A and B are shown apart, each in its own frame.
Chain A
Amino acid sequence: MRFSIYRFDPDADANPYMKDYDVELEAGDKMLLDALILIKAQDDSLSLRKSCREGVCGSDAMNINGRNGLACITPLSALKEPIELLPLPGLPVIRDLVVDMEPFFRQYRSIRPYLINNDPPPETERLQSPEERAELDGLYECILCACCTTACPSFWWNPDKFVGPAGLLQAWRFISDSRDQATSERLDDLEDPYRLFRCHSIMNCVDVCPKELNPTEAIGKIKAMMVRRKI
């Protein structure tokens, strides 16, 4: 199979370039990450992140034939050759397929992604009905891979001001939690021309999410809640 991979080592290269690799491999039921490991065995200078290899840790997000995804759960059989691999768009490149994720995580941290409840904790668990708990489904499963946020044109333009789909999905996760008491502060924090309202429902986030989550819907619910509290 033929691959064309973005290469850039700031220690050695003046400019990034695309490098071709040929790998003897039957696509079969193999994943893109399997091919990248074979390529790295040929050329150990190719840098990428990888960890769980089963789509739960979010390390190996990259741009695959023009679309963000996780290498470990992208079947080779679904990809057209030459398979073109680029780092996630919209973030500074550290080297090859490794990007600086800090702008993404800064926005995640900015939404105060933790349960806020100032009551003294009971001796056992706080109760939550199965229906209340079901409100968190489709939200808590986010793996922070950044596929969605780095596919979002609004984030490309304003990475320092727009929270982005992943952060907003988590904002809604905590607003939706029956145990959380900070809804009004959370909404105040997002009531801003950039932090929330730069989302124009382009829906690239929904399209690329490898966990099939729906940030656009969550953002819509936050907006609706803001409207409701005004009237």
Chain B
Amino acid sequence: MEKRKFDVAIIGAGGAGMRAALQLSTAGCNVAVLTKVFPTRSHTVAAQGGITAALGNVTEDDWLWHMYDTVKGSDYLGDQDAIEYMCRMGPQVVYEMEHFGLPFSRLQNGKIYQRPFGGQSRNFGGDQATRTCAAADRTGHAVLHTLYQKNIQAKTHFFVEYMAIDLVRDGEGRVLGVIALDMEKGEPLLVEARATLLATGGAGRIFHASTNAFINTGDGLGMASRSGIPLEDMEFWQFHPTGVAGAGILISEGVRGEGGYLVNSAGERFMERYAPHAKDLAGRDVVARAIAIEIHEGRGCGKNRDHVLLKLDHIGREVILDKLPGIREIAMKFAHVDPLDSPIPVVPTAHYMMGGIPTHYRGQVVVPAKTGPEEAVQGLYAIGECACVSVHGANRLGGNSLLDLLVFGRAAADHIVEYLKENPTSPPVPKGGLDLALSRLARWERPDGEERVADIYRDMQKIMQSHCGVFRRAEVLEEGLQKLLEVRQRLDRAAISDHSRVFNTARIEALELDNLMEVAFATIRSAIERTESRGAHARDDHPERDDENWLKHTLAYSDGTIDYKPVRLKPLSVPSFPPKTRTY
């Protein structure tokens, strides 16, 4: 097998992976970025509304207020050391992106434009803040392209269209690199690295209706899980309040930030009932549940009464054309309405995975230790949506995901630089270290089977959609788990008909499905166990938050075992924000 050796292997070229790559290349490290799609195809490109950071360009602001909002938004499940670090670093990483050339929209005084977003307040729960830095409604596109451009300048080494298959670990658990599939040639490649950084993004494709790209298949989570690392807080999935009804395409929270609001079939601005203070800019979990209730109680719109309407014509032609041009384009193409004069039909849609691979706030993957609470996996890091650091806890605030990518991409890279100094040599790859990856590749060489990948893929998505959605209850979840077990048995009997080596996308999709299965099982098993409602995890049969028993993180292992670890309530330098009732 072909072999390459680098200081660092980064898996994934989205915002997090490329921010880390830039930091490492600039520090003089020899970095390889492996990505299954060309870097600017990564899903960061689809982020719209902006990056939240307390610049205070529009109204007075303080990173500590941002921290308070994030802790509250997380329904107190977020780790406060990581949240402090992220909010404190926010302004710096945004200014850096501006210096890198990101085309932010501008205020009259030439500073970066900021807009209000959900869950933002001034002075610890006071008036609405204006904290989200935007490049019109294409902020993710601007972030991703700017980072790719700076990596071209930094001469980062990209392996484009290489899909990572599995981690390589030695007997002591150290991660020695990764096996990847060269998609064009169909050959495996061993990339040895002293540090491996997973930045593979989300896994929203476990759901049938999702705002996520086709590539969001939880590849890093599958790799970590198969190598024995637990997945943290996988029951917490964000359903974005405003996906285009029927199509699932994201409509930015920035629409409501600019003054848009939701109405039901009676034309009522119903969020006034659910969140009297913040209204349409309450936490996403709160707004998504309100919409689900309106629809469930018969106040949905359209002939099937299956969606609500997002009204924005009143904010004016100029604002829509200048600040929301991409939204208008999406509404016209996918909902066949022009928001200049008609509201957009929307419905809560699976959007973001709060859980992921457990890490500390400098990006190292951490697992329960035999002695002491937890220990770092040597040589392994994770950042961005695939990681659970945990800054989003039970519910992420809008604009905090792009911030997460930039802050922890940079932080993990800085930690890796130190780690490389302390670990100048790499241990040899042990005999058998490649077996897992090679057997997964060989498995899809099987000539025939009675099941087809596309059918199993769709059935898994439908199960997750109907058994693990916005509202959950024990018997529905249990039934979902049973169905999922049956589907996985069918996967064992499946085969693909394409056996070409060259750009075999049938094989890629089958390998992706393995990863999605790991994520789906971790999600539904974690959801069954958590008998409380917190953030995005809403249990009809346990409607209250239960801090006495459940102020803890879930850890779900591939073998079905569930474990827990405490929430880090102690920040790095400021007083803790103790849990209290969460209202908007």
Closest to A10 in B: B502
Q: Is the pair B40, A130 in contact by a Cβ cutoff of 8 Å?
A: no
Interface string of A36-62 (1 = CB under 8 A from B): 000011011101111111111111000
* Smallest beta-carbon distance B525→chain A, Å: 29
Assembly CA distance A121 to B101 (angstroms): 11
B6 CB within 8 Å of chain A: no
Q: Is the pair B153, A50 in contact by a Cβ cutoff of 8 Å?
A: no
Assembly CA distance A223 to B38 (angstroms): 31
* Smallest beta-carbon distance B552→chain A, Å: 36
Given A47-B505, A141-B138, residue A101 in contact with residue B454 (CB < 8 A): no
Assembly CA distance A45 to B510 (angstroms): 13
Q: Is the pair A54, B40 in contact by a Cβ cutoff of 8 Å?
A: no
* Smallest beta-carbon distance A127→chain B, Å: 3
**Contact partner of B106 among A55, A105, A112, A129, CB < 8 A?**
A129
Assembly CA distance A133 to B55 (angstroms): 19
> Which of A10, A44, A56 is the most central at the interface, judged by chain B CB atoms within 10 Å of its CB?
A56
> What chain B residues lie within 8 Å of A177 (beta carbons)?
101, 103
B141 CB within 8 Å of chain A: yes
A91 CB within 8 Å of chain B: no
Interface string of B10-42 (1 = CB under 8 A from A): 000000000000000000000000000110111
Given A57-B41, A114-B149, A130-B106, residue A47 in contact with residue B141 (CB < 8 A): no
Q: Is the pair B41, A52 in contact by a Cβ cutoff of 8 Å?
A: yes
> What chain A residues lie within 8 Å of B498 (beta carbons)?
44-45
B315 CB within 8 Å of chain A: no
Q: Is the pair A51, B149 in contact by a Cβ cutoff of 8 Å?
A: no
Q: Is the pair A9, B111 in contact by a Cβ cutoff of 8 Å?
A: no
> What chain A residues lie within 8 Å of B145 (beta carbons)?
140
Given A54-B334, A114-B152, A115-B100, residue A9 in contact with residue B108 (CB < 8 A): no
Assembly CA distance A123 to B92 (angstroms): 8
**Contact partner of A113 among B149, B213, B326, CB < 8 A?**
B149
> What chain A residues lie within 8 Å of B110 (beta carbons)?
127-129
Q: Is the pair A124, B95 in contact by a Cβ cutoff of 8 Å?
A: yes
* Smallest beta-carbon distance A49→chain B, Å: 7
> What chain B residues lie within 8 Å of A115 (beta carbons)?
100-101, 149
Given A51-B43, A56-B46, residue A127 in contact with residue B503 (CB < 8 A): no
B582 CB within 8 Å of chain A: no
Assembly CA distance A44 to B55 (angstroms): 50
Q: Number of B interface residues at 8 Å Cβ cutoff, please give it.
A: 64
Given A12-B500, A54-B249, residue A40 in contact with residue B99 (CB < 8 A): no
**Interface range, A side:** 35 or more
A136 CB within 8 Å of chain B: yes
> Which of B184, B333, B452 is the most central at the interface, judged by chain A CB atoms within 10 Å of its CB?
B333
A188 CB within 8 Å of chain B: no
Q: Is the pair B106, A95 in contact by a Cβ cutoff of 8 Å?
A: no
Q: For window 53-92 of chain A, which residues contact chain B by CB distance below 8 Å?
A: 53-59, 73, 75
Assembly CA distance A55 to B107 (angstroms): 28
**Contact partner of B111 among A10, A41, A52, A127, CB < 8 A?**
A127
Assembly CA distance A117 to B99 (angstroms): 9
Closest to A48 in B: B505
**Contact partner of B333 among A55, A117, A130, A140, CB < 8 A?**
A55
B98 CB within 8 Å of chain A: yes
A109 CB within 8 Å of chain B: yes
Assembly CA distance A47 to B501 (angstroms): 12
Interface string of B148-179 (1 = CB under 8 A from A): 01101100000000000000000000000000
Assembly CA distance A112 to B452 (angstroms): 46
* Smallest beta-carbon distance B48→chain A, Å: 9
Q: Is the pair A126, B214 in contact by a Cβ cutoff of 8 Å?
A: no
Given A121-B99, A129-B106, residue A11 in contact with residue B141 (CB < 8 A): no
**Contact partner of A56 among B107, B141, B184, B455, CB < 8 A?**
B141
Assembly CA distance A58 to B55 (angstroms): 32
> What chain B residues lie within 8 Å of A47 (beta carbons)?
503-505
Q: Is the pair B496, A44 in contact by a Cβ cutoff of 8 Å?
A: yes
Closest to A178 in B: B110
A144 CB within 8 Å of chain B: yes
Q: Is the pair B141, A49 in contact by a Cβ cutoff of 8 Å?
A: no
Assembly CA distance A180 to B146 (angstroms): 14
> What chain B residues lie within 8 Å of A112 (beta carbons)?
153
Assembly CA distance A51 to B161 (angstroms): 13
B506 CB within 8 Å of chain A: yes
Assembly CA distance A112 to B142 (angstroms): 17
Interface string of A87-127 (1 = CB under 8 A from B): 00000001110100100010001001111010001011111
Interface string of B569-581 (1 = CB under 8 A from A): 0000000000000
Q: For window 141-155 of chain A, which residues contact chain B by CB distance below 8 Å?
A: 141, 143-144
Assembly CA distance A10 to B145 (angstroms): 33
Q: Is the pair A95, B101 in contact by a Cβ cutoff of 8 Å?
A: no
Q: Is the pair B213, A40 in contact by a Cβ cutoff of 8 Å?
A: no
**Contact partner of A44 among B142, B330, B453, CB < 8 A?**
B453
Given A113-B149, A136-B103, residue A57 in contact with residue B46 (CB < 8 A): yes
> Which of A73, A101, A128, A179 is the most central at the interface, judged by chain B CB atoms within 10 Å of its CB?
A128
Q: Is the pair A9, B502 in contact by a Cβ cutoff of 8 Å?
A: yes
A185 CB within 8 Å of chain B: no
Assembly CA distance A10 to B503 (angstroms): 10
B45 CB within 8 Å of chain A: yes
A29 CB within 8 Å of chain B: yes
Interface residues of A (CB under 8 A from B): 9-12, 29, 40-41, 43-45, 47-59, 73, 75, 94-96, 98, 101, 105, 109, 112-115, 117, 121, 123-130, 132-133, 136, 140-141, 143-144, 174, 177, 179-180
Interface residues of B (CB under 8 A from A): 37-38, 40-43, 45-46, 55, 91, 94-96, 98-101, 103-112, 135, 138, 141-142, 145, 149-150, 152-153, 184, 213-215, 246, 249-250, 326, 329-330, 333-334, 336, 452-455, 496-498, 500-506, 509
12 contacts between A and B (CB under 8 A): A29-B336, A44-B505, A47-B503, A51-B41, A94-B184, A96-B503, A114-B101, A114-B149, A124-B95, A127-B111, A129-B106, A130-B106
Top 5 A-B residue pairs of the complex, sorted by shortest distance between their CB atoms: A115-B101, A127-B110, A44-B506, A45-B498, A114-B149
